[in-house]
Structure 1
Amino acid sequence: MAELDQTAFARDLVADVLATAEAEHSTTPETFTRRVLEDLEQAGIVSNTFTAYHKSHGVEVHGYGWNESTDSLDLFVTDFRLSPLEEKLTKALSESLFRRLLTFVRRCEKGLRQHIDESSDVYDMCSTVEKAIAEVEHIRLFLFTNCVSTSPAPEPTELDGIPVTYETWDLRRIHRHASSGTLSEPIVVTFAPPLTCLAAPSTEPDYSVVLAVTPGQLLAELYGEHGPRLLELNVRSFLQARGSVNRGIRATLLDAPGRFLAYNNGITATASQVDFVHDGDGRPIGISRVHGLQIVNGGQTTASLHHAWKRDKADLSQVRVQMKLSVVDPERLAEIVPKISEYSNTQNKVTLVDFSSNHEYHVAIQRITRTLWAPALDGSGQETHWFYERARGQYADDLAKRSPAQQRQFRLLWPTRQKFTKSDLAKFVHSWEQLPHLVSRGAQKNFGEFMIRLQSNLPHVDARYCQRLVAKAILFKAVDRVAATHGAGSHKSLVTTYTVARLSQAVDRRIDLDRIWREQQVSAVLESALHELCPKVMTAVTTPLRGNHVGEWAKQIGCWDAVSRVRWVVPAALAAELADLPLQDVAVANDGGAPTADVAEVLEISPEEWTAIERWAKETRSLEPWQRQLASTIGRRLAAGEEIGEAQAAQAIHVRNEAMRVGFSPAYDV
């Protein structure tokens, strides 16, 4: 049965890649590469990735990424076949492709960018790789193929003292990842020597608890290796380490590392299996290996350990962290882990009390969209559904449960082009809400920000809300196709989100989403306007200030400031189609309740500090003029007791973080 599923998956994959490549005017290897990267980014395996193709004598590369969480440089090479079931990826070809990828890194190190056109995507790739080599902790080389590999990936090597690891994602692994229904492959950790522990007796057969004290250095290294994947079940990871608790953790690590165990609450972790070392009487006294490790509370502690070790060069040899490790049957994870995370929390207030997948918002969207009939397109008479994949792998799982005839009917009613995920949803909404700089930070970080915002402004999810959500998806996909026709290349995702945001701003969110839902496509007038707007936005996005890399520039609020000032007049024909009032259906009003996270953080900072930021920036010329002005405005409004809006607060927090990153200290005295 599994082999049949894999065969069907391979055929569907080729068909989908061919259709997408034709629609987006791209090559099949590029489309396949982008598809795999999107899946891996959602799983937290890679981040900040771009596609860019370069091939010359002894060299071939299809994309790159700089994973900030794990301090790794990632390079990707692709082998895509139209008949994957009839061919294999041989060991010789696999080694050749990895060798060509590594040669590319060496040539970048020797200045390959000097021989590349500065306006091309490949130049950006070469520049990024050249810079990263001097800063990253390790290099990861990935080979993507839709064939079955006949050999494992090569053993780790080194390049100028930098560890190099190799990963092959072949048909079997991609299929397993897509259909597993889990977030990603489980993390397995070996403790050598074994970690001394105290196993508490349990009265339940599918749940037990182990207590241990783990070295801080080990936790820092685990986060460095696995990054956000280690925190996939941690509701606190969505809080983006915003609170003052992290400053306290950092201070303890730098000034009193030996007292960390006394000052810190420790971590709560889960595992699907634990291998013990036993004493002579058969009692467990040590942990030799943990399978499926997840830190469900204490993500801030873990990330802070890693950042203090890497950025501050903190000595963690004296740091110890208490750990409560719950061994949970995998089938009960969704039931037990949210309760562990909720009840064990004693640090910051946590309002997200469940896995993101099980949050009431996502559950409601799935429930409604499963029964919501979308109008037939182009007079075909065939109504369809949009499939919201609340948990990864749901679509494949639903498909696999059916017979071949039922699968054909399923694809007819739920076409793959009408499937969207949680990260897609966050991308559609944030683009419409004019937050493209958040979208540009990658699927995982953008989704985390989305969940934070959701807690302060939870919308009422009904049929109308879901219809307009789908309309935003249709609009986003239309802009994406337009960006492809204008040669956005590897920057297409950035150009798309910024174009949607600039359109939303220009029309004051008065695009008729209800009409888009009824017609299941954007109007000819709107599409024409997009072709006019998109090139203007693309110029602003791909022309970064201060020599920044385009990808890094797009993450900054300054990029949105530049794009928001792009000159564009709404065509009269489009103006005639606009709704009378802005569509404010993304979130309900705050109703005078507690301030949002950004507003609350702004209120915690004194007016004098905001004024000091403005004066320091002016004196040192370290920030953009608009950033200095915003800091001054916030200081004046706080001093006068005036309200601070959510959007303005979000921008202000980013300005303060940027100021501190480039040298400002709250102790600055003008």
Structure 2
Amino acid sequence: MESLEEYHHDLVEQVQNYAAEEELLDQEAFFNVACELLRNNDVIAEYAPAPYFFHGQGSSNFMMVDGYDFSSYDQDESIVIIGCDNDYSIHQNKELPTIQTLEYKRSLQGMRNFVISALKGTFLEQAEESSEVYGLAQFMHEHKDSIRRVRLYYITDREFTGRDAGIQPVQDIYSPTKKEGGIGIEAHLWDLARLRDAAEITGSSENLVVHLDNPGVPAVHAPVVDTSMKTYLLFLTGDVLAKLYQEYGSKLMESNVRSFLSMRGKINKGIRNTILEAPNRFVAYNNGLTATASNVEFNTLGNITSITDLQIVNGGQTTASIYYTGNTSSNAELEKVVIPVKLVVVDPTESRNLIPDISRFTNSQNKVAEADFSANSEFQVKLEQISRTVLTPLVAGKRQTRWYYERVRGQYDVEKSRLQGAQRKQFTEANPTRQRIKMVDAAKYLMCWQGFPEIASLGSQKCFAKFAIETNDKKIISQVDKDYFKELVCKRIIFDTTHRNIKKMNWYLGAYQMNIAEYAIAKYSYDLYRAGLQCNFSEIWNAQSIGPEMLGHLMRAAKQASDVINDPSRPVTNCSEWAKHTECWEQLKTFPSCLTPDTANPNPTHPKPIEPEKKDDPLGPSHQTPHRQRQSTITQQTAPVTAPLHRQSQSLATTESQEKVIALSSSSSTVQSESWSVDDKRSYLQKIPSQNWNIFMRWRERNSNNTQQDLAALGKLERSVELTDAEVELLWDLRSKAIRRGFAASILSPRK
């Protein structure tokens, strides 16, 4: 195991590389790197950033939130709030940085204050409606009567040297009704040591240990026929199982079962009726549960008293149905419900391959197995094998590398950790971290391209569950080859480039960047199809990037997607929830083509609009159809959207477009002070909404120091008081420096 000093050095390097690749601030990059570790270890299912929210530091009303995951609400009616260390110590490399209890608890209090304000609805009165954090608070307020638990995760690259680093349950932070109890809240600290442990193991880094009340649970030990596992048969009563689910929620479920549980609903009517009408016959009617674990402990009676790393691989809906029936029906007698449980204790060295197989085969009689969702499916294994044989194009002065397809969670890090010294360096050079494609992310790229952005917006777990169903087809599997994998890489390049550049556009409102990217790619693919065109994946593969013309089209599609997702007249209040509806996609398809006239085919080969939901082989390879070659040029039509993105590559532009790009480059998001008078700047600054200036001030609290002069000038803007010339120049300089450091230019741009 790496020392903390060694791991901190590696983490700093990883964050710096990620920040450079994604054009993020160091703290934003750290947030993403750390959250990816949590996601890989099944601690959280999804994560979305909510940057720049840091309010009232030093006061009793202090609030902070850096990210969230409310997809967990669909699984166990919980909300995840993520806070990131305000003192991210990427530049403190001389000594190992530490954090004390007082500082940790101060941040927890800020997150807790936000939760209470969001649940009560008071937060909505002071937040910018277009922000991510507003959408989160709105969702929490609307669902306050059904949220059972809020989980706070505080992540830091410092070593925690205080006390109380474990899970801290705090009950009754908010009670929507006056009944007994309230919404539970628990705090989780992820410091440097815990992040290191998570990076070095493949299972859940939380080491979930389930304790069973005395006298424990009797169990029958099956004869040992395989030394890699031990099998026990036991029986749990419904009230015990419901208590476990209430305490641990979806963490009891194996990840793939979890995603299908949230897709198919919480309560099975048949199970509910049996519980209410014939609870004593439940054991005869129900198949029971299958679960895995890494260890069990027994008392002197031979009863099981604790189970380590308990994961339900079959029977997730049974578990949830028992809990929700007991929670919603006063006459449910759960103590009379008996559930048979087959518990398989797996050797940790065999768990990576054995647990997915147990999950797959025990689900062989239901839709979960029909989808063959595990990492060991034929489609996934074939894609991984092909990825190891494909090298990037040969370019003078550069070595050929691979795009590493990660079929099993944590596979890349495990393979790298087995190597030392020169071998490890050679592996990293041949398989750069930035060229790792995760299985769940690949599903998102493909689903977007094939016209299912609303499914991609459901989150990686649900999207992958749908993707697994579609790819469980022999015809599709037989067509997976090197060209299919190269197209997947190209779609990843397109997705990343689109997502990265959205925040540079003036129309971007500072929120829902991922949803906009998903819809933009679907719209671009849709417009290509109805124009009778094919994407030139060969050109993208050879360049390992997309050209300025295509980027212009994608940004035009992204603008259209933003208009739909943020449409004030949308039928769903929350923007990210609206993006999960088919109606959102149908509305975007009514917009004009994002392609410019010179690339549209006057005689399209596919005159009818595509209907992704009905076409055959929705995820099948498309490389068999010849691509239509197109010259990559910046036209007069695409110049406005490519200006902030491609100030180089001038040789690809027409003369008129070059002039237009140059002109636009000196305005919009990169306004040059030399070309503007003080009055022009004053007018520009005063047209920026006051809420956006508040976001900017909070960002500066975290990344700089607000001087009295800064606050005085910003206060005048908020009160609509005329600025002096000196104050105009001051704010103009602050704006320019912030944008150069990576702050979203769209936030500090006027609104019409």
Mapped pair 1:82 → 2:100: no
Report the counterpart of residue 112 of structure 2 in structure 1. 102
Q: Deviations over 1:233-271 (max 9, x none)?
A: 766964866599933223323433332212111111222
Q: Which has the larger radius of gyration?
A: 2
Do the aligned residues in 1 keep the contact of 2:314 with 2:359 (CA within 8 Å)? yes
Indicate the residue corresponding to 1:156 in structure 2.
Answer: 169
Displacement, 1:201?
3.6
1:536 CA drift (Å): 1.5
Q: Structure 2 CA distance, aligned partners of 1:162 and 1:236?
A: 22
Q: Which residue number corresponds to residue 638 of structure 1? A: none
Shift in Å, 1:227: 4.3
1:577 and 1:527 map into 2 onto residues whose CA distance is 22
CA distance in 2, matches of 1:347, 1:403: 45
The CA deviation at 1:464 is 1.2
Q: Distance in 2 between matches of 1:432 and 1:217?
A: 46
Q: Work out whether 1:252 is the aligned partner of 2:252.
A: no
Determine the structure 2 residue equivalent to 1:623.
Answer: none
Counterpart position of 1:562? 587
Decide whether the 8 Å contact of 2:444 with 2:456 is kept in 1: yes
Q: Name the residue aligned to 1:658.
A: none
Distance 1:511 1:308 in 2: 51
- Cα 1:354/1:560, change in 2 over 3 Å: closer
Q: Is the 8 A contact 2:456 2:463 kept in 1?
A: yes
Q: Shift in Å at residue 97 of structure 1? A: 0.9
8 A Cα contact 2:471 2:619, kept in partner: no
* Residue equivalent to 1:267: 289
The 1:31–1:132 alpha-carbon spacing in structure 2 relative to 1, beyond 3 Å, is farther
SS at match of 2:477: coil
Query: Which amino acid is the alignment partner of residue 246 of structure 1?
Result: N
Q: Which has the higher strand share?
A: 1
Instruction: Tell me, yes or no, if the aligned pair for 1:235 and 1:355 is still in contact at 8 Å.
Output: no
1:64 paired to 2:68:
yes
Aligned to 1:549: 574
1:540 and 2:564 aligned: yes
Counterpart of 1:358 in structure 2 is 376
2:325 and 2:445 mapped to 1: Cα distance?
35
Aligned counterparts of 1:260 and 1:345: Cα–Cα separation in 2: 20
Amino acid at match of 2:391: W
Q: Please give the alpha-carbon distance, in whole angstroms, between the structure 2 residues aligned to 1:365 and 1:205.
A: 31
| TM-superposed deviation, 1:374 | 0.8
When structure 1 is superposed on structure 2, of 519-528 and 579-588 the one drifting more is 579-588
Report the Cα offset of residue 170 of structure 1. 1.6
Q: Deviations over 1:125-181 (max 9, x none)?
A: 332343444431122111011222223147322313332211011222222223312
Partner residue of 1:295 out of 312, 316, 320? 312
What is the deviation of 1:55?
1.7
Q: One-letter code of the match for 2:423?
A: Q
For 1:562, give the aligned amino acid: Q
Partner of 2:79: 73
Cα 1:15–1:565 shift into 2, 3 Å: farther
- Seen in structure 2, the aligned counterparts of structure 1 residues 117 and 334 have a Cα distance that, compared at 3 Å, is closer
Matched residues, number: 581
- Of 492, 512, 519, 2:536 maps to 512
- 2:629 aligns to what? none
- Give the equivalent residue in structure 1 for 2:457: 440
User: 1:115-134 residue pairs with structure 2 within 5 A?
Assistant: 115-134=126-145
C-alpha distance in 2, partners of 1:557/1:225? 35
Paired position in structure 1 for 2:198: 177
In structure 2, distance between residues paired with 1:391 and 1:339 = 13
Are 1:234 and 1:297, in contact at CA under 8 Å, matched by a contact in 2?
Answer: no
Q: What is the one-letter code of the residue matched to 1:103?
A: N
Gaps of 5+ in 1: 590-670
Matched, 1:528 2:552: yes
Q: Which residue of 1 aligns with 2:448?
A: 431
Counterpart of 2:252 in structure 1: which amino acid? Answer: L
1:471 — aligned with what? 490
- Whether the aligned pair in 2 keeps the contact of 1:42 and 1:423 (CA below 8 Å) is no
Q: Over residues 109-129 of structure 1, what are the superposed CA-to-partner deviations in whole Å (9 max), with x where a residue is unaligned?
A: 361221223233332233234
Tell me: CA distance 1:342–1:117, structure 2 relative to 1, closer, same or farther (3 Å): closer
> In percent, how many aligned pairs have the same letter?
30
2:203 partner SS:
coil
Equivalent pair of 2:258/2:316 in contact (CA under 8 Å): yes
| SS in structure 2 of the partner of residue 308 of structure 1 | helix
How many angstroms does 1:398 deviate by?
Answer: 2.5
Return the letter of the residue paired with 1:54. Answer: F
Partners of 2:99 and 2:290 in 1: CA distance? 42
Distance in 1 (CA, whole Å) between partners of 2:54 and 2:138 is 16
Determine whether 1:33 maps to 2:31: yes
2:258 & 2:565 partners in 1: Cα distance? 32
The answer to whether the Cα contact below 8 Å between 1:471 and 1:517 also exists between their aligned partners in 2 is: yes
1:577 is displaced (CA, Å) by: 14
Alpha-carbon contact 1:70-1:225 (below 8 Å) kept: no
DSSP 3-state at the match of 2:451: coil
Letter aligned with residue 351 of structure 2: L
Do the aligned partners of 1:271 and 1:291 also contact (CA within 8 Å) in 2? yes
- Deviation digits for residues 451-481 of structure 1, max 9, x if unmatched? 1222146433211111111111111111112
CA contact (8 A) 1:74 1:140 kept: yes
Q: Partners of 1:361 and 1:302 in 2: how far apart?
A: 30
Provide the C-alpha distance between the structure 2 equivalents of 1:117 and 1:243, rounded to a whole number of angstroms.
33
How far residue 56 of structure 1 moved from its aligned partner, in angstroms, is: 2.0
Deviation of the 1:587 alpha carbon? 2.4
One-letter amino acid of the counterpart of residue 559, structure 1: C
For the residues of structure 1 that align with 2:535 and 2:602, how far apart are their CA atoms? Answer: 8
Gaps of 5+ in 2: 57-61, 175-181, 611-615, 623-752
Q: Which residue, 411, 414, 418 being the options, matches 2:435?
A: 418
Counterpart Cα distance in 2 of 1:575 and 1:19: 39
Letter in 2 for 1:55: F
Deviations 1:288-341 (A, max 9, x none): 011121222222322333343456677233322111112222223355445544
Cα RMSD for the two superposed structures: 3.2
- Alpha-carbon deviations, 1:483-508, whole Å to 9, x = none? 22233644111111111111111111
Cα distance, 1:185–1:358 mapped onto 2, change above 3 Å: farther
1:314/1:166 Cα in 2 relative to 1: closer, same or farther (>3 Å)?
farther
User: Which residue number corresponds to residue 2 of structure 1?
Assistant: 2
Distance 1:473 1:7, change over 3 A: farther
Q: Please tell me whether residue 587 in structure 1 is matched to residue 620 in structure 2.
A: yes
SS in 2 for 1:485: coil
> If the length of structure 1 is used for normalisation, what is the TM-score?
0.79
What is the rounded CA distance, in whole Å, between the counterparts of 2:44 and 2:210 in structure 1? 20
- Show the 5 A alignment for 1:177-576: 177-182=198-203, 185-193=206-214, 194-232=216-254, 238=260, 242=264, 246-279=268-301, 284=302, 286-310=303-327, 315=332, 316-334=334-352, 336-338=354-356, 340-341=358-359, 344-345=362-363, 347-348=365-366, 351=369, 356-376=374-394, 380-456=397-473, 458-460=476-478, 461-486=480-505, 487=508, 489-508=510-529, 510-543=534-567, 545-575=570-600
CA spacing shift, 1:139–1:319, aligned 2, 3 Å: same
Kept in 2, the 8 Å contact 1:84–1:147? The answer is no
Given that 1:236 and 1:297 are in contact with CA atoms closer than 8 Å, whether structure 2 keeps it comes out as: no
Contact 2:43 2:206 in 1 (8 A): no
Distance change >3 Å, CA 456–CA 332, structure 1 → 2: same
- Residues 46/381 of structure 1: CA separation in 2 closer, same or farther (3 Å cut): closer
Structure 2 SS opposite 1:141: strand
Give, in angstroms, the shift of residue 561 of structure 1: 1.7
